Amino acid sequence: MAEPSHQRGNRLARLARLVPTALRNAPVRVRVAAPLAVAATVGVVGVGTVVATPGADGPPTDVSAVASLDLDALLSERAEAGTSRSDDRADAAAADEAWAAWSTESTALAQQQAEAAAQQRALAQQQAEQAAQAAQAETAAAVAAADTSRWAGTDLDLHTTSEADAEVVGLLEEGTEVLVTGRAAGGREEIVWEEQSRWVTAGYLEDEEPSAAATLGGECTTSSAPSGVTANITALHGAVCAAFPEITNYGGTRTDGDHGRGLALDIMVRGARGWEIAEFIRANYTEWDVNYVIYEQKIWSVDRSSEGWRPMENRGSDTANHYDHVHVSVY
């Protein structure tokens, strides 16, 4: 069955567009003969042999070279190339669409995570505020309920809280009566001072009002000052001897430390009477230029006087831990 004329015309038109491209890289003899071969295919002319002379030594050329071209294959490759480009465009469009979808999802996820983090921060802040309010309410209730009196056994710093780095806002002087709440934390006790919660170092509030302290003056008639000591130690001995005449045993110089330089005095005493003597010396430390006092494994020093009596490490014996005497060092 003969090919319809309109289909043949269309095919030949496409062929005419393809042949120039196909022949770009062909030999000269083919490029010359190709138009004639196309014309012969259409049936416009019949050509036997066409001779082209591309150069002085070029070989003769005939139309049989064009006849060897697979024109149907050229048309098929053209169609496949068009399909391939169409597929490439479709793949690129799909990739762009996938990237846009991923980018949108990533942005949405990041936004969700940021919102969740903000909510967590807000919740933490709210919880902290609620905890602070609860602590304030608890403190206010403790202050309002305080009804037990205590007396400061020594000068004590007044802290705003029980925390180690709490601000110091005043000084509670020795002998001052205060109300206590019964709460303790961080080595401190809570008191009521000027209708507010304040914290002092634990262990220095007395259950009973202190009795009248021994006073300076009088004459020592029961013992003599140790030899080889400084004037401050001699004066200290005289004052203690006059205030506490029952104490007759004192230790002065020896080869070590402040004792070796005549700057220390040991007052041989035990129990509560020893604390009375220790407090008597602490209360009048400027009279003898006292550096520090030690008794029953506790120390009070001028440079840290606001901390009161501080605990000391265990040195292994009653004497080494100063349970059988009050030690005083002066400048």
Read off the CATH number of the domain in which 199 is found.
Answer: 2.30.30.40
240 and 320 share a domain? Answer: yes
The DSSP line for 71-129 is: HHHHHHHHHHHHHHHHHHHHHHHHHHHHHHHHHHHHHHHHHHHHHHHHHHHHHHHHHHH
For residue 41, being part of any structural domain is answered with: yes
Q: Quote the pLDDT of residue 44.
A: 42
The DSSP line for 293-329 is: EEETTEEEEGGGGGG-SEE----SSTTTTTSSEEEEE
For residue 281, being part of any structural domain is answered with: yes
For residue 159, being part of any structural domain is answered with: yes
For residue 28, being part of any structural domain is answered with: yes
Report pLDDT digits (tens) over 232-256: 999 999 999 999 999 999 998 888 8
For residue 127, being part of any structural domain is answered with: no
Q: Cα–Cα distance between 251 and 266 in angstroms, integer?
A: 5
The letter for the amino acid at 14 is: R
Q: Quote the pLDDT of residue 258.
A: 94
Contacts of 199 (CB under 8 A, 6+ apart): 158, 159, 160, 161, 162, 166, 186, 188, 189, 190, 191
183 and 261 share a domain? Answer: no
243 and 326 share a domain? Answer: yes
Q: Quote the pLDDT of residue 62.
A: 45
Domain with 175, as residue range(s), is 146-206
Q: Cα–Cα distance between 192 and 238 in angstroms, integer?
A: 40
- Are residues 250 and 267 in contact, defined by beta-carbon separation less than 8 angstroms? yes
Element of type H or E holding 189: strand 188-193
Q: Quote the pLDDT of residue 123.
A: 93
Point out the domain boundary residue: 29, 44, 69. 69
For 196-314, strand residue ranges (E) read 196-201, 205-206, 250-251, 264-268, 290-295, 298-301, 310-311
- Long-range CB pairs of 137-143, under 8 A, 24+ apart, other chains included: 139/197, 142/181, 142/182, 142/183, 142/190, 142/197, 143/181, 143/192, 143/195, 143/196, 143/197
Q: Quote the pLDDT of residue 72.
A: 63
3-state secondary structure of 193: strand
194 and 251 share a domain? Answer: no
235 and 319 share a domain? Answer: yes
- The structure tokens listed for 242 are 């006059």
| Domain count across the chain | 3
Contacts of 120 (CB under 8 A, 6+ apart): none
Point out the domain boundary residue: 206, 223, 254. 206
Q: Quote the pLDDT of residue 95.
A: 87
Q: How many residues does the chain have?
A: 331
For residue 158, being part of any structural domain is answered with: yes
Residues of the chain with pLDDT under 50: 23, 25, 28-34, 36-40, 42-63, 65-66
Element of type H or E holding 258: helix 257-260
For residue 139, being part of any structural domain is answered with: no
